[in-house]
Amino acid sequence: MEYSFIQLNDLPDEILIIILKKILNLEVLYSLIGVNHRLNTIAHDSIFTSHLTLMRYFSDDSIYPLSDPTLNRFCLQILPEIHHKIKWLDLESSSMERILLTTNYPNLCGLGLYNISIEKALSLFIDESSLTYINKNQISSLVVNIKYEKLGLAEGVRELIFTNIFTLFTNLQYLNFSIFAIYNKRLPLQISSSAVISSNLVLRNSPDWSIVRPMKM
């Protein structure tokens, strides 16, 4: 292991970055931050810090939180160190609140929230306490993946979530909202036009997903 590290550390920065780009950003940050000054500087490059997916996902589309040691290190050391460089975060339900409240994210413009329950969605977009350190006016892209439950998502609840999303994120230009059932089968989603409250947004429906984009003027 020590020999491999010496060989890696001897590579020119350009070659090392090409190699590291083939690895998940979270693995680069977890492995290199704090090792030495040179590797720390490389790990801080926007290539590895601008878009972070802080969850584990597998080929069958299943999603799991990071292991406790990994999550602890990100929350206690890595995220506070690179918080101003992060432009997009992909998070899963059980760890998203801790990550969002770990530090402020002054340049965050994109947020992906995956595998969240209806209750979590309502709490997140109505209570807002988990979004304290986010400049909500700066968020232009939002992905929300709702975990389907036995009771489904009633029309009134659906519109309440949408209304609060558009109220909170006043500069939202892109919204991808989806509901996944057991075995990750995506469910149809029909949304009333009354859920859209901004004249600068248009809602397009399809059988299994909906996207909000800016209207062309």
91 and 165 co-located in one domain: yes
Given pLDDT bands bounded at 50, 70 and 90, which one contains residue 209? very low
The per-residue pLDDT for 4 is 52
Given pLDDT bands bounded at 50, 70 and 90, which one contains residue 203? very low
What are the pLDDT digits (tens) for 58-86?
877 788 999 999 999 999 999 999 999 99
2 and 90 co-located in one domain: no
Considering only 45-54, 68-77, 141-150, 199-208, which range has the smallest mean pLDDT? Answer: 199-208
* Residue 81, strand partner residues: none
16 and 114 co-located in one domain: no
Distance CA(85)–CA(78), nearest Å, equals: 11
**Burial (0-12, 13-18, 19+ Cβ within 10 Å), 35:** middle
The per-residue pLDDT for 108 is 97
The per-residue pLDDT for 121 is 87
Distance CA(89)–CA(102), nearest Å, equals: 13
The per-residue pLDDT for 72 is 98
The per-residue pLDDT for 188 is 39
Given pLDDT bands bounded at 50, 70 and 90, which one contains residue 198? very low
Ramachandran angles phi, psi of 210, nearest 5°: -135, 145
Contacts of residue 68, defined as CB under 8 A and 6 or more positions apart, other chains included, come to: none
16 and 78 co-located in one domain: no
Q: What is the domain extent for residue 129?
A: 51-214
23 and 77 co-located in one domain: no
**Residue 212, token pair as written in the block:** 């909000």
What are the pLDDT digits (tens) for 161-191?
888 899 999 999 999 988 764 334 443 343 4
Distance CA(93)–CA(121), nearest Å, equals: 9
Distance CA(114)–CA(212), nearest Å, equals: 18
pLDDT of 216 above 60: no
DSSP H helices in 57-211: 68-73, 79-82, 93-100, 118-122, 155-168
6 and 89 co-located in one domain: no
What average pLDDT score do residues 129-150 get?
85
3 and 57 co-located in one domain: no
The per-residue pLDDT for 148 is 66
The per-residue pLDDT for 95 is 96
The CB density around residue 37, as the number of other CB atoms within 10 Å, is 7
The pLDDT mean for the chain works out to 80
41 and 140 co-located in one domain: no
37 and 114 co-located in one domain: no
Question: How many domains does the chain contain in total?
Answer: 2
21 and 60 co-located in one domain: no
30 and 112 co-located in one domain: no
Domain boundary among 31, 49, 67: 49
67 and 41 co-located in one domain: no
